[in-house]
C-alpha cells in the first residue's frame, strides 16, 4: 500500500505542486475500515480527515422519528469527514459508515491545522474540498426543489452509477428524499420505457 494515489490526487487538483504533495502525504497515515464499521459515530468529534482510496462510505443522520437518513455517499478520491464537527470541535450529529471494506489515508484536526499554517498550497486544497462539498450540496438542494423524484433518480444514476452497485436501495432512497417503496415504483416505471 503506497501513497502514490494520495500524492497524485493532491497534485492533479492543480493546486498542489508535486513536491508539496509528497510533503503533505508524509503526514497521512494508513487506515482500513471493514464493511459496516464506523469511521465516525454520532456523539463523537470528527477527528479524521480521511482521503478515501478504495471502497464506499455513507453519511447518515436520524430524523425526529428515529429513522436513518442517508445524507451523503463518499467514493474514492473524496475526503470523508463531518465538516461541522471537525472544524468546530463539536459532537457530530451524523455517522459515517463503510458500505464496503475501505482503505484510505488520514490526518487529524491538529495535523491538518499544522499543514494549513505551514503550507499555503494545502490551505488552498482544503478550501477547494470545502467549496466542492458546499457546491455539490447546493446543486442537490436545487434539484430537490425543482425536480421530481424520478428525475433525481435518473440524474444520480448517470452521475454516480457506482453507488447502485454498492449501496442498498433504501439508502439511496432516503438520499434522494423518498421512501424505498417509492423508489421501487419509480424503477418499475422506468423499466417500461
CB 71 within 8 A of CB 111: no
Look at the block and give the residue holding cell 454498492. 166
Cβ closest to DNA, residue 39 vs residue 178: 178
Q: Kindly state the cell numbers that stand for 15.
A: 493546486
18 lies in the site for DNA, by CB under 7 A: no
Helices (H) and strands (E) in the chain, counts: 9, 8
Give the other-Cβ count within 10 Å of 136's Cβ.
Answer: 13
Which listed option, DNA, a second copy, none, makes contact with residue 184 (CB within 5 to 8 Å by class)?
Answer: DNA
Buried b (16+ CB within 10 A) or exposed e, 35-44: eeeebbebee
CB of 138 to DNA, least distance (A): 19
Judged by CB under 7 A, the chain residues 126 through 155 that form the site for DNA are 148-150
Residues that bind a second copy in the complex, under the rule CB under 8 A? 61, 63-65, 67, 69, 71, 83-84, 87-88, 116-117, 120, 123, 127-128, 130-131, 133-135, 137-138, 140-142, 144-147, 174, 177
In terms of Cβ atoms closer than 10 Å to its own Cβ (0-12, 13-18, 19+), residue 188 is exposed
Compute the distance between CA of residue 149 and CA of residue 50 in angstroms, rounded to an integer.
Answer: 31
Q: Which stretch binds DNA (CB under 7 A): 75-83, 84-92, 129-137, 185-193?
A: 185-193
27 lies in the site for DNA, by CB under 7 A: no
Q: Among 130, 131, 187, 190, which residue sits at the site for DNA (rule: CB under 7 A)?
A: 187
CB of 174 to DNA, least distance (A): 9
Which residues are registered as beta bridge partners of 61? 69
Number of residues that bind DNA (CB under 7 A): 18
CB of 159 to a second copy, least distance (A): 16
Give contact residues for DNA (rule: CB under 7 A). Answer: 148-150, 168-170, 177-188
Amino acid at each position: 500500500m503506497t501513497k502514490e494515489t494520495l500524492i497524485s490526487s493532491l497534485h492533479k487538483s492543480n493546486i498542489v505542486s508535486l513536491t508539496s504533495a509528497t510533503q503533505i502525504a508524509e503526514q497521512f497515515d494508513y487506515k482500513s475500515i471493514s464493511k459496516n464499521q464506523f469511521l465516525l459515530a454520532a456523539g463523537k468529534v470528527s477527528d479524521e480527515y480521511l482521503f478515501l482510496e478504495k471502497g464506499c462510505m455513507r453519511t447518515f443522520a436520524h430524523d425526529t422519528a428515529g429513522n436513518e437518513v442517508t445524507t451523503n455517499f463518499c467514493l474514492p478520491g473524496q475526503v470523508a469527514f463531518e465538516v461541522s464537527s471537525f472544524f468546530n470541535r463539536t459532537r457530530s450529529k451524523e455517522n459515517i459508515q463503510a458500505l464496503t471494506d475501505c482503505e484510505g489515508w488520514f490526518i487529524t484536526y491538529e495535523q491538518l491545522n499544522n499543514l494549513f499554517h505551514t503550507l499555503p498550497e494545502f490551505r488552498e486544497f482544503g478550501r477547494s474540498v470545502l467549496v466542492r462539498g458546499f457546491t455539490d450540496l447546493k446543486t442537490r438542494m436545487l434539484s430537490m426543489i425543482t425536480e421530481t423524484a424520478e428525475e433525481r433518480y435518473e440524474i444520480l444514476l448517470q452521475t454516480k452509477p457506482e453507488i447502485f452497485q454498492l449501496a442498498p436501495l433504501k439508502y439511496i432512497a432516503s438520499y434522494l428524499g423518498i421512501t424505498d417503496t417509492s423508489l421501487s415504483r419509480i424503477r418499475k416505471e422506468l423499466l417500461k420505457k
